[in-house]
């Protein structure tokens, strides 16, 4: 039957059985986008929100004004963090499949986002992550055992068994807690940054949300407050093309880039190749310097691709073309940085394989240690009494009564 409605419904480029089609992704050649001063006025840098900042070209060289000129040793550190993130993800995914943890979310293909951005910030800058930013923890040196114990909800779990796996936090690492409700961390990050400005400190906040989550009101609240108070904050939209089964057009990406939300609010917007470690580092450094100078917030859209399922509860072959990942035009972030380092003469396939083996062994060792603190099914267990703590600073009378009642249920 012919559809008589004039309602526009975003047309998904490719569903299962169709040929992958990324012709909707606007690309700029590497090195083609100009780099304005960090104090540039928003109205003078509008195109940055529509073009695509890229540094690594097809020959694996770093080109153009956004080249951050990082030392090879820094690039090696970045490669190491990204590789560790991927190996950790693979191992934890298998652990979930084996029934050792209840749930997991990989960041496959998006590792440059967390790692390069974290490396472009200072340790005292506060990070407000989404749920696919485990690379932030890895880049900040949080021990893998700590992350694994959270996944296991065991006796060393930082959340004391109260949070779904991957909802990490690190007070010492200045990494905020993950809610599980989408985008709530964005206005909180802006508030944190406003407080830093009120207190006269030069720390900044950085926060992440997927393009799907950017549809939430909290995203718009965050941009509004960031703009009104010129808060020292970076708001990152990780456009990985898919929000579970709906492509980015359903979040409003069909008519205008997500970076362009920024200029609409009077905030600098930059669209960057999210799989280009150097470009991601460069734009983050630009935005951080802008914020620290009091020149205002930035919205960064990181154009990347969710190469894996949304979570361990998801099967993307049911809603997108099976071979879509291989057709993603911006490649793989680890592979691209590796090839660049090899081109620089600072890396080799052999070293890469040796590093992979070393990191894999480290992940396995960490897992062995983590399970000594208990798993979901065996070993030491958290005391259920903990359920009643931290609802308030002090346990109130009614919860003490309920705790006593629960204890009588144990037998």
The only residue of 393, 408, 410, 411 in contact with other proteins, by rule CB under 8 A: 393
Give me the DSSP letters along 364-399: HHHHHHHHTT--SSSS----GGGGGSSSSSS--HHH
Least CB distance to other proteins at residue 389 (A): 8
- Report the first-to-last Cα separation within the chain, whole angstroms: 64
Question: Cβ closer to other proteins: 201 or 323?
Answer: 201
Site stretch for other proteins (CB under 8 A), options 177-185, 265-273, 324-332, 367-375:
177-185
Give the neighbor-by-neighbor strand order of the sheet with 298-303. Answer: 126-128, 205-210, 233-239, 298-303, 268-273
* Choices 61-69, 224-232, 276-284, 303-311 (CB under 8 A): range interacting with other proteins: 224-232
Binding test (CB under 8 A) with other proteins, winner from 25, 27, 63, 158: 158
Q: CA neighbours within 13 Å on the CB side: how many for 158? A: 22
28 binds other proteins (CB under 8 A): no
**Binding mask of the shown chain, residues 99 to 138, with x at each position contacting other proteins by CB under 8 A:** ---------------------------x-x----------
Q: What angle do CA 195, 197, 203 make, to 5 degrees?
A: 90
Separation in Å, CA 123 to CA 31, 63, 119, 157, 387: 29, 28, 9, 23, 32
| Residues in 229-248 that interact with other proteins by CB under 8 A | 229
H or E segment to which residue 126 belongs: strand 126-128
Tell me 109's DSSP state. Answer: T
Candidate list 162, 292, 339, 343; residue touching other proteins; CB under 8 A? 162
* 339 is a site residue for other proteins (CB under 8 A): no
| Shortest separation between residue 287's beta carbon and other proteins, angstroms | 18
Asked whether 78 and 118 are in contact (CB, 8 A), the reply is no
Say which DSSP state 330 is in: T
**397 contacts other proteins (rule: CB under 8 A):** yes
What does the binding site for other proteins look like in residue numbers (CB under 8 A)?
126, 128, 158-160, 162-163, 167, 169, 171, 176-177, 179, 181, 184, 186-196, 198-199, 205, 217-218, 221-222, 224-225, 228-229, 389-393, 396-398
């Amino acid at each position: 039957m012919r559809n008589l409605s004039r309602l526009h419904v975003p047309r998904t480029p490719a569903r299962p059985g169709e040929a992958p089609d990324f012709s909707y992704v606007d690309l700029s050649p590497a090195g083609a986008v100009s780099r304005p001063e960090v104090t540039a006025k928003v109205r003078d840098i509008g195109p940055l929100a529509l073009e695509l900042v890229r540094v690594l070209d097809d020959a694996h060289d770093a080109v153009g004004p956004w080249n951050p000129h990082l030392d090879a040793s820094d690039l090696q550190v970045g490669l190491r963090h990204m590789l560790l993130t991927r190996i950790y993800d693979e191992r934890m995914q298998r652990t979930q499949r084996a029934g050792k943890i209840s749930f997991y979310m990989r960041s496959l293909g998006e590792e440059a986002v967390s790692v390069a951005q974290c490396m472009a910030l200072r340790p005292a800058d506060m990070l407000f992550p989404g749920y696919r930013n485990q690379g932030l923890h890895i880049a900040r040196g949080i021990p893998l055992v700590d992350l694994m114990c959270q996944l296991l909800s065991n006796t060393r779990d930082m959340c004391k068994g109260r949070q779904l796996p991957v909802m990490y936090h690190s007070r010492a690492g200045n990494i905020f807690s993950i809610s599980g409700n989408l985008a709530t961390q964005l206005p909180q990050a802006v508030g944190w940054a406003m407080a830093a400005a009120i207190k006269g400190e030069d720390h900044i906040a950085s926060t992440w949300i997927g393009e799907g989550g950017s549809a939430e009101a909290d995203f718009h609240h965050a941009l509004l407050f960031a703009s009104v108070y010129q808060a020292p904050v970076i708001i990152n939209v990780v456009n990985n093309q898919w929000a579970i089964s709906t492509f980015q057009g359903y979040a409003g990406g069909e008519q205008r880039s997500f970076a362009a939300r920024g200029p609409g609010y009077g905030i600098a917007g930059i669209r960057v190749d999210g799989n280009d470690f150097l470009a991601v580092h460069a734009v983050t450094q630009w935005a951080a310097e802008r914020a620290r100078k009091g020149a205002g917030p930035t919205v960064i859209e990181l154009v990347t691709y969710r190469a894996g399922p949304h979570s361990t509860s998801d099967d993307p072959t049911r809603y997108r073309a099976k071979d879509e990942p291989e057709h993603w035009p911006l490649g793989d972030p680890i592979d691209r940085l590796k090839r660049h380092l090899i081109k620089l003469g600072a890396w080799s396939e052999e070293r890469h394989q040796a590093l992979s083996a070393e990191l894999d062994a480290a992940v396995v060792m960490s897992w062995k240690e983590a399970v000594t603190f208990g798993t979901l099914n065996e070993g030491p267990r958290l005391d259920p009494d903990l359920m009643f703590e931290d609802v308030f600073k002090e346990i109130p009378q009614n919860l003490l009564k309920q705790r006593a009642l629960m204890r009588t249920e144990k037998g």
